[in-house]
Chains A and B, each alone.
Chain A
């Protein structure tokens, strides 16, 4: 995350949205620095493609800018709203892609090249690749719930708000998703570096 940008302001999200709508350029920069990286990383985790994640992040942020003048304070958190928009855009893309051709599950993006050593990097690459492949095989909503709960680290009530469903439905989705992942990854223990005890 760009610390220099993010440290620029400690104002609340809603105050920044109001300032943005009033034409304050400083608010535009602060909001982009605060939410741009989060929206991008969430899109990347769902789509596993850097270029597509950038497109989705750009579209989600554009929707935020358009919504800013009509933003109703106290109704929804900016982050919740953005995660919802990003999730929906990602699911639309995944479904659109499925309509055109089957998704190449192994065509995941290369991890960053700055890992400490070649061996570690390869191991990490294998682990992420296995997890990403297993995640990609989950039904859309299950994947979204698992990513929000277990990778973004959100609480179930917030996920329920993002996904517009009950907390119980979120619990059920994440439990089923986790179980499916556990089954999908069972045969790849060695690849993951987990040695049978």
Chain B
């Protein structure tokens, strides 16, 4: 018996492989249904869709919304009030250097105090 007789010839083996390749083992429909059910069961939940607003709502959110705007409005009103009717202390601080010396005369203040006392 030759060595070749002790082995299947390549062509015979290749034919066998080709047949095996054709005979694809099919999964049962039940198994496929089970696989699909499991794929769905362990799937991450659909991500919540973040609804984006338009330009103004984006801007509103960026600057901090209502609390920030309330703070800004308060600062604005305060500024306006200081501009229209500044307290004396503020005026002194602002104008102190340029006020005429007679306006700051202690005598004038003294006279005014006496006059008020006599009333």
Contact = CB atoms under 8 A, between A and B. Distances in A.
- Are A and B associated in one complex? yes
Interface of A: 1-2, 5, 20-25, 28-29, 31-33, 36-37, 40-41, 44-45, 50, 53-54, 57-58, 61-62, 65-66, 68-69, 111-112, 124, 127-128, 131, 150-153, 178-179, 181-183, 185-186, 189, 192, 194
A194 B57 CA distance: 81
Nearest to A180: B7
A183 B20 contact: no
Nearest to B42: A65
A36 B46 contact: no
Contact of A127 (B5, B16, B24, B29): B16
15 contacts: A2-B32, A20-B39, A23-B44, A29-B36, A36-B32, A37-B26, A41-B24, A41-B26, A61-B35, A61-B38, A69-B44, A131-B16, A150-B20, A150-B21, A182-B10
Q: Report whether over half of chain B's contact residues are helix, strand or loop; otherwise say mixed.
A: helix
B24 A192 contact: no
A91 to B, nearest CB: 18
B6 interface: yes
B50 interface: no
Contacts of A23: 43-47
Contacts of A33: 32, 36
A40 B27 CA distance: 6
B46 A53 contact: no
Interface of B: 5-10, 12-14, 16-17, 19-21, 23-27, 29, 31-32, 34-36, 38-40, 42-47
Contacts of B38: 58, 61-62, 65
Contacts of B12: 189, 192, 194
Given A32-B36, A178-B10, 4 more contacts: A22-B46, A32-B39, A44-B25, A153-B21
A100 B22 CA distance: 33
Nearest to A197: B9
B23 A128 contact: yes
Contact of A61 (B14, B17, B29, B39): B39
A24 B23 CA distance: 33
Nearest 5 CB-CB pairings of A with B: A23-B46, A44-B25, A182-B7, A28-B39, A40-B27
A153 B27 CA distance: 19
Contacts of B43: 20, 23, 25, 28, 65
Nearest to A181: B13
A192 B36 contact: no
Given A37-B26, A37-B27, A65-B43, A185 B21 contact: no
